[in-house]
Chains A and B, each alone.
Chain A
Amino acid sequence: MAERMAEAAGPGQPVVAPTTATVRRLLGIALREPQALPELSAPELDLCLRLLRRARLLGRIESSRRFTHPVPDILRSARVIAESRARVARWEMDRLAWALTGVDGPVLVLKGCAYLLLGTPNATGRSFADVDLLLPAEALPAAEAALKARGWSATELTPYDDRYYRDWAHELPPMQHPEREVEVDLHHNIVMPTGYLKPDAAELIAAARPIEGTRFHALAPVDMVLHAAVHLFYGGEMDGSLRELVDIADLLQHFDATEPGFRDAFWPRAEALGLLRPAFYAVRYVERLLELRLPAALAAAPARAAPSRPVLALMDALVPLALYPYHPERRARSATAARQALFIRSHWVKMPPLMLARHLGAKTLARLRHQMRGSGKGEPGAAG
């Protein structure tokens, strides 16, 4: 491929190798050996940086003297955005800690904000979207009331979406403080209570660890990896979620290096929480797609963690298609189809069939009504 590109690359002839293989190879270099990036040909580096931006992974790449104009600006810009979001997140968490003073019991920060407060390696240059908090279900009304009393309010939802959250979801409708632009999600579990996976939230909260110097707790290391896996493989949209697989890879490596007993605790804990399947997918795809070499204790999934062969074959085909960003010049139909298939699957694993039918029916109806009104506001509703 490189030879063919070099041949075709003449002045004024931008060359893009449109194959999926190129996309994966370039992202592989960026993630596994970023120090080799300056050796890429200019058109390849150009494509690589665009893919990283699309995958929201650009902030990970360190600048270097070996890059020439305008690459340092491109990398620095991504870093500045990530640093700014981190600052905003820290401030929001500071305000949340203040607002939740009267609420008893542990408050867990999940995902990006936990990575940020703990300073895990994947936090560097990672931009975040929301603040996700996990509390015991019985503490949720008090927490919601405390936030409302201090100025947060629920974002505007249709009555259907509001009911979706309250009746079916594992979180309350998102809240936001009018002076800021950060969405705060209050969760009582890490998955929807209607789904196949039923981890015991009380177990997760009992094992949580305080984050030094803050009011918050974080999931225990194994649980944090499992949550990232659940979120990626059972969460919903997989569009451009390569970053979440990178999170998992970083966390596995980090905790295996810093947390005594991590590798031996991994599978038993996954089993105890009923999260063998997401753990299986996480380990499988960090090894296959990110070529991460895991120690035997982590790599050796129990046989019962695996899905049936046809399902596995299907996942092996769909997951990479969905995770990798589109080539900016060519949108692969197969990737679009894979994303749709996985999106439907993610609903399937979250809801019993009848509930799924009702949900998709309601969303379709809402969309049709919306289109007939001809309003230009985009997709109705945030839920599902």
Chain B
Amino acid sequence: MSTGLDPDTFESRLAGPGLGFRVGPFDLFLKARVKGLAAPLARLYRHYPVLDADRVFSINLTIHDVWRPAWRDRRRVRVLVDGQQPHEDMPAGQALAVLEWAQNLVIAMRFHSFLMLHAAVLERNGHALLMPAAPGHGKTTLCAALALRGWRLFSDEFGLLRPGGADMIPLPRPMPLKNASIEVIRQFAPGVELGPEIPGTIKGTVAHLPPPADSVAAAQRTAPAALVVFPRWRADAPLTLEPCHPAQAFMELARNAFNYELVGEAAFQSLRMIIDRSRCFDLVYSDLDEAIAVLTRLADDTDG
């Protein structure tokens, strides 16, 4: 599957009438008139099915250049969601990261028909692995590494499911690697294709790893939650994998979710089902290969 568009068509459609993409359960309509954005975006989005415009879209996003007088600061980009600005203009050099964050923002603010856990989610052998973690604990890095080793990517950020159920819903998107993680992933997977490095964002330097083609192609296939692992990267630490108390895991998932309270009782039911059917662990690691080996063993040991 691919957009099937050559770079010029991609750019002119993006800048003109707009382009529709199917991103997991969301249909995104995107217009972008930002110098230098189309080429990296075309590479990051190259696996997404392109949608015709004769449909209702879940998200309608526009990003465009804003020119400002030279004595104010430099070139900026403006994001519009349904014609409204969700935040102030951002430096133009960060357009790609800004666009990805804007999508996160709209999804998190709007789509409460899903329970949205804050977790990286991947699948292996039909079992979904949930990795909730605070920023800085290496969630995205480990998620990217697993995706590069054949795990099916659901999301590095959003654990989506239908309230009342425990089947995880894929939302494969580009994964924003930050700062040292960029080099870690380059060494982990020599020759890996990353988006441009974007320095100076609120989260430091960001570079996006495109979602694997297979993961995008299988984005409509859900998987039941089977493993909940709280990863924590610690320099030079030996790998430890300790069972985590289910009540503790429940509370962590609830506390970090985007809309646990908003969804209400059905969110409680979902978390109960996830915890009932999942094995829960705390993982401390310093070496990606070791962490992947232990997680792969866990997934392969899990009964279907």
Q: Which residues of A contact B (CB under 8 A)?
A: 9, 11-15, 41-43, 45-46, 49-50, 53-54, 68-74, 76-77, 80-81, 83-84, 87, 326-329, 331, 376
Contacts and interface: CB of A to CB of B under 8 A. Distances in A.
A80 B113 contact: yes
Contacts of A41: 54
**Helix, strand, loop or mixed for chain A's interface?**
helix
A283 to B, nearest CB: 32
Interface stretch (B24-32, B126-134, B181-189, B293-301): B24-32
Given A12-B19, A74-B56, A74-B58, A84 B262 contact: yes
A15 B262 CA distance: 35
18 contacts: A11-B53, A11-B54, A12-B19, A12-B20, A12-B52, A12-B53, A13-B17, A13-B53, A49-B56, A70-B56, A71-B56, A72-B113, A73-B25, A74-B113, A76-B113, A80-B113, A83-B264, A84-B263
Interface string B243-269: 000000000000000000111100000
Contacts, number: 80
B135 interface: no
B132 to A, nearest CB: 22
A76 B113 CA distance: 5
Interface residues of B, number: 30
**Helix, strand, loop or mixed for chain B's interface?**
loop
Contact of B52 (A11, A53, A329): A11
Interface in B114-157: 114
B112 interface: yes
Closest 3 CB pairs of A and B: A328-B83, A76-B113, A14-B53
B68 interface: no
Given A12-B17, A73-B113, A376-B88, A42 B262 contact: no
Interface string B22-57: 000111010000000000000000000000111111
- Residue from A49, A70, A81, A328 having most chain B Cβ neighbours under 10 A: A70
B18 interface: yes
B101 interface: no
Interface string B69-94: 00000000000001110001000000
B111 interface: yes
Nearest to A83: B264
A93 to B, nearest CB: 17
B58 A73 contact: yes
A50 B82 contact: yes
A68 B27 CA distance: 12
A84 B114 CA distance: 14
B232 interface: no
A80 B112 CA distance: 6
B222 interface: no
B234 interface: no
A43 B262 contact: no
Contact of B82 (A71, A328, A376): A328
A224 B119 CA distance: 46
A77 B262 CA distance: 11
A14 B56 CA distance: 10
